[in-house]
Amino acid sequence: MYIRNMKQSNTKTKQNTEQKNTIKDIPIQDRPYEKCLEFGPEHLTDAELLAVILRTGRPGSNSLELSYEILKLAQTSGEGLCGLHHLCIQELMSIPGVGTVKAIQLKCIGELSRRMARQKAKERLSFNAPDTIAEYYMEELRHLEQEVLLCMMLDTKNHLLGEKRMFLGTVNASLVSPRELFLEALRYQAVNIILVHNHPSGDPTPSREDVLITQRVHQGGELIGIHLLDHIIIGEHTYMSFREKESL
């Protein structure tokens, strides 16, 4: 009887220990939910916002502490929340308390933010204004760890007929084929094209290869009546336009 009671007592003690350090242990004015209700989500820190979305932590750590751990891991791949874009599901699941469901939730947060940013940018998109094109592609391209080359196909009035990812990897003048670009443009019956690609380094300064690609596509397009209107390089919240630099 004594041994059984001791076991029951140890079990209760363990359960009580695991139940400690929950969100309810935080002073009510500092709890993420209560702060959001009283002041609005804009007054929550990054960790508090994540805690609201995750809802639960793990035994011994509440959702807010778990959020701090997630942000710490994200910090190794980028700055603050932006680092979440670079973490795969397996990396997120390496954090104790983050299972498949929480990892998917976190990846979906990043995708939602990307789509919302792009939808907002689409409202002011003008193919005659390089800054609006850069804004439209910024969230899609600036987080990528490899270079991607996109080709936008336009008609005579600069209406978008379609876009095509033409290359993935280091954008090298010897690897990017103007012929493939023009075949794709002809398939859409385009008369104008715009090239867009990213620099994972965050610096949009064109390399020698970027200049060569631009020159080859521009010169080849003029011969067949498909005009290169611009080549835009996306960096970290910045961009470079060959058109704005009057290099076309």
All CATH 3.40.140.10 domain ranges in the chain, comma separated = 126-241
Residue 219: predicted pLDDT: 94
Which CATH number is correct for 126-241, 3.40.50.1110, 3.10.450.50, 3.40.140.10, 3.40.1010.10? Answer: 3.40.140.10
Angle between helices 63-75 and 46-54 (to 10 degrees): 120
Residue 13: predicted pLDDT: 43
Angle between helices 100-122 and 130-141 (to 10 degrees): 180
In the chain, count H helices and then E strands: 9, 5
Q: What is the pLDDT along the chain (248 residues), one digit of tens a residue?
A: 444 454 444 444 444 444 456 777 787 778 888 989 889 999 999 899 999 988 888 988 899 999 999 988 888 755 667 778 778 899 999 999 999 999 999 888 888 887 887 777 777 788 889 999 999 899 889 888 889 999 999 999 898 899 999 877 765 655 678 888 999 999 999 999 999 999 999 999 999 999 999 999 999 999 999 999 999 999 988 999 999 998 77
Enter the tokens of residue 62: 């509440």
